Amino acid sequence: MRRVVVAAVVFLASVAAAVYGWRVAHPPARTEIRSPILKAQHREGQLRQVLLKELQPITLSNCDLRRFGEANDGGYLLCGNLLGDVQSGYSYGISGYDGWGCDISRKLKVKVHQYDCFDLTEPACEGGDTVFHGECVAGAPSTDNNSRVFETPEHQFAKNGDAGKHLVVKMDVEGAEWETFVAMPDQVLDQIDQLAVEFHGSGEERFGDAIRKLKRFFYIANLHFNNYSCADHFAPFPSWAYEVLLVNKRLGKPDASAAPAAPSSLNTPNNPKVPDCQATR
């Protein structure tokens, strides 16, 4: 009986060793032990990390940051001393008010074209030259079921007689910016001297593609997160929406030390009633 027990123990031990050895040689892939939801969340986290790295601003030695527009939500930073060649301005997504466009028009003495097809309120701009257009911007021309018109920037620039001119552009269009920039021809992007954008979203591969395309023509000079949309589940992004200043490489001069840009005190909370939320660098 004892021999049988010993033999059984030896046999079971050999089987266990064989199974263990096979598992060591054939470890389960990490993706095999994740649910589809966990895999998607892991992928989104990786994409956010890559995108946040792409968005880090650099110091431009010749950029004097100034704020244009509202003191809080609606205000954007530009290199105020690099706007001398601007011949026209474009303000996309104004929602019935446009302090930025009015500021640009009055200070630079240029016409600013305002675009919004969801809110058709035309804001007043005393002392400025602004023109309201009841249409939106997109990557391709279309009309939706509510008769809202969407057009491309290149068509809008040409229609307004601004093809080939030096432009300053602000865009806050709730996610339509991605497809718009991906579709814009290189020569149209290159005529924009400075581009202030509120981007929306962070966990998709197309977002990184769009930023990398923009960085072929622009330096990122400022990054500020909108505290109206702060949430932990966008980590490492602190917020779903974020404002970015892009300066054309024809104009901006990177600091020779290649030092990252320090957060500017001109960045103010979009919602002044709660603290700002910014990414840890």
Q: Are residues 94 and 173 in the same domain?
A: yes
Q: Are residues 68 and 164 in the same domain?
A: yes
Q: Residue 41: pLDDT band by 50, 70, 90 thresholds? A: confident
Q: Are residues 118 and 223 in the same domain?
A: yes
Say if 209 falls within a structural domain: yes
Of the candidates 104, 109, 65, 116, which has an alpha carbon nearest to the alpha carbon of residue 243?
65
The reported pLDDT for the residue numbered 28 is 53
Q: Are residues 21 and 143 in the same domain?
A: no
Say if 173 falls within a structural domain: yes
The reported pLDDT for the residue numbered 257 is 81
Residue 147 structural domain? 45-248
Q: Are residues 28 and 163 in the same domain?
A: no
* Tokens coding 46: 């990786």
DSSP string over 100-159: HHHHHHHHHT-EEEEE-SS-------TTSEEEEES-EE-SS-EE-TT--EEE-HHHHHHH
Give pLDDT tens digits for 92-140.
999 999 999 999 999 999 999 999 999 999 999 999 999 999 999 999 9
Name which of 15-24, 25-34, 53-62 the model is least confident about: 15-24
Q: What's the average model confidence in pLDDT over 237-256?
A: 96
Q: Are residues 7 and 113 in the same domain?
A: no
Give pLDDT tens digits for 191-229.
999 999 999 999 999 999 999 999 999 999 999 999 999
Q: Are residues 207 and 69 in the same domain?
A: yes
The reported pLDDT for the residue numbered 281 is 55
**161-166, long-range: CB < 8 A, 24+ apart:** 162/87, 162/88, 164/191, 165/87, 165/88, 165/191, 166/85, 166/86, 166/87, 166/88, 166/191, 166/193
Q: Are residues 163 and 240 in the same domain?
A: yes
Average pLDDT, the chain: 90
Contacts of 183 (CB under 8 A, 6+ apart): 139, 140, 152
Say if 51 falls within a structural domain: yes
Say if 255 falls within a structural domain: no
Q: Are residues 27 and 52 in the same domain?
A: no
The reported pLDDT for the residue numbered 34 is 61
Per the structure, the count of domains in the chain is 2
Residue found by looking up tokens 């016409």 in the block: 111
Q: Residue 45: pLDDT band by 50, 70, 90 thresholds? A: confident
Residue 270 has pLDDT above 60, yes or no: yes
